[in-house]
Chains A and B, each alone.
Chain A
Amino acid sequence: MRSAGVKWIGWAVLIAGLVLYPRLLGIYYTNLFVTLAVFGLYSVSFNMLLGYTGLLSFGHALFFGAGGYGAALALKHLTGISLLTAVGIGLLAAVVLALLLCPLVVRISGTAFCMLHLAFGQLMHMLAMKLRNITGGEDGIGGFPLPAVLSFDMKVPSNFYYFAMAVLGLSLWLMWFFTKTPFGQIQVGVRENAKRIDYLGFRITQTKAVVYVTAAAFAGVAGAIYALFQNLISADSGFHVMVSFAPVIMTMIGGIGSFFGPIWGAAIFQILEEVTSRFTDRVELVVGLILILTILFAPGGLAGLIQYVKQRWFAPKAGLEKAV
């Protein structure tokens, strides 16, 4: 009973904090938080593939960019659609792309899966650059209208913040729910021992395909929100290799296989980038060093580090119990 009460108080504090955040900290930090939340959702969707089914992708930007372009194109060409519909179209674009790739990619795993996605990501980047009349080339699609939601003007940063938080929060909750269903448990089983799951009578390729499409869908939502937030989507902001590497880095820092780890990773990475960019413009150097140091000294990421500290210093005295 007590823990349930604490849990509800925790949720209430979290929601109150999120509601009050733009009033307390101003426009700059509000926008920073939206970016953080977008990449948080994007990384969680990436970790759904990596942490829960063990599939590492170096081309997750495929779906992020598809979502972004989907939403931007819808708002530019279709008049009278609502903002939520545009996000839905972004999601749909990512899902369609994932369904197209599915028959090929669910049959492979490991390094081939990873590299094939890197190649597809590059392919999409190239297409976005070349098909100028649709995608606007390297300038991208910008300045599309942002229709009001419930008569709130979306060009006001704090209004957009609430919209983004609602959509991203709902997506996050849906994914959390998804991993807790019996089907979500099968995913973990596929990662741990695919053969055994096969013998238990579950279909591995189909399981992988469903996870793949779901991960793509939520990456699409993140991309769509990002495009709306920037009011711009371009080949570089949607499909660039660094967009694909961002969730890899954030998940590594936060901790693979922990559901909320990637969000912490996104937060840490965002803050680090914010701080370092004040002193130096060598972002690659900082990112590269972070990756090397993390993998050398804290391969479990932040989640692994916390667990280690817990076991080392805060664990109940296991030794004593044994002695008794």
Chain B
Amino acid sequence: MDPTTAMYVAQGIHGLAYGMILFLVASGLNIIFGMMGILNLAHASFFMLSAYFCYQFILWTGNFWMALVLAPVVTAFFGILVERFLLRKVHALGHLGELILTMGVSLVVLAGVKIFWGTESLPIKIPPLLEGLVKLRGLDYPIYRLFIIGLALVVLVLMALLLYKTRLGKIVRAAVSDPDMVDALGINMRRVFMLVFGVGTWLAGVAGVAIAPILTVFPGLSDQMGMDAFIVVVTGGFGSLAGAFIVSIVFGLLSSYGVQFLSQLAPLLMFIFMAVVLAIRPMGLFGERE
């Protein structure tokens, strides 16, 4: 391969890695929205919280792999607490109450993170196994980015199996289309909601740990990701996982090629894409409702 194509391919892989992370966050947001109708403004805060937990676990044990498993689980536990003790109580107030509550939660998480870990950015080392570059057909790829893509694909397959091959998945899919009817059939919807919220925050948590070694951990980590994930969900269509996947990948590629060709305007590309999509289809690319 000549150097120019090699550069394009490398940029493409960068974009793909970011798109995959974005998909992990956005899919969690989307599952929660599709099923419970809650737009969780604190979603990206859980993503950030998980990155901080990862830092803390590595500080204690020095083991990245353990952090990768434990941090998202602890994050999901916090998510479940928020659902059980806060969100459930304001559900009757409708959208507005939930938006305001989750905004409050995100502010509290931000403050908490600053209190416990300070405001400076904390580095996380890439584990030795994934350090360095790998040579593929004359090209040097950073192994860690390939690992991120692989990890996201594994999680994606796990989620697909859970959704389409288990009884729980069947209930969840039924509840996305009509929660009241599922409730009437005698299934404890409150518990299912709690579980789904936990799984959603777990997905955000996995993404948080995966991205921590690349970006370092700092209190502004949630800002960019939160915004991007919302744009993905709005553009892809509320409640549509396929839409979230496609738009995530498109956005990842747009941002990495955008930086290369139009460095000044790169962040605008996503907004323009969203505005065009919403102007034509207010419910998003694959959405069925507004």
Contact = CB atoms under 8 A, between A and B. Distances in A.
Interface stretch (A41-49, A134-142, A169-177, A281-289): A281-289
A288 B96 contact: no
Given A119-B271, A288-B105, A291-B107, A299 B282 contact: no
Contacts of A294: 100
B87 to A, nearest CB: 10
A122 B39 CA distance: 18
Chain B residues touching A, majority SS = helix
Q: Which of B90, B230, B264 has the most CB of A within 10 A?
A: B230
Interface stretch (B3-11, B109-117, B144-152, B163-171): B109-117
Interface in A31-61: 50, 56, 58
Interface residues of A, number: 38
A284 B279 CA distance: 35
5 contacts: A104-B279, A114-B99, A284-B110, A288-B107, A292-B101
Nearest to A287: B107
Interface stretch (A105-113, A181-189, A307-315): A105-113
Contact of B290 (A58, A108, A120, A130): A108
A118 B101 contact: no
Contacts of A116: 234, 274, 278
A295 interface: yes
B95 A110 contact: yes
Contact of B274 (A107, A110, A119): A119
A285 B107 contact: yes
B93 interface: yes
B275 A104 contact: yes
Given A56-B95, A111-B39, A284-B114, 18 more contacts: A56-B96, A56-B99, A110-B95, A112-B234, A112-B282, A115-B230, A118-B227, A119-B274, A245-B103, A248-B103, A285-B115, A288-B104, A289-B104, A289-B108, A291-B101, A295-B90, A296-B101, A299-B97
Nearest to B108: A288
Contact of A291 (B39, B103, B111, B231): B103
A227 interface: no
Interface string B220-234: 000100010011001
A299 B104 CA distance: 14
Contacts of B90: 295-296, 299
A98 interface: no
Interface in A70-121: 104, 107-112, 114-116, 118-120
Contacts of A110: 95, 290
B181 interface: no
B46 interface: no
B100 A291 contact: yes
B125 interface: no
Interface string B277-290: 01100110000001
A295 B97 contact: yes
A126 interface: yes
Interface string A265-305: 00000000000000000101101111110111001000000
Contacts of B101: 291-292, 295-296
A256 B100 CA distance: 12
Contact of B104 (A119, A120, A282, A291): A291
A126 B268 contact: yes
B89 A296 contact: yes
A66 interface: no
A50 B99 CA distance: 13
B118 interface: no
A289 B104 CA distance: 6
A119 B227 contact: yes
Contacts of B97: 295, 299
A115 B107 contact: no
Q: Which of A108, A245, A282, A295 has the most CB of B within 10 A?
A: A295
Contacts of B267: 126
Contact of A285 (B95, B96, B108, B282): B108
Contacts of A56: 95-96, 99
Interface in A203-260: 241, 245, 248, 252, 256
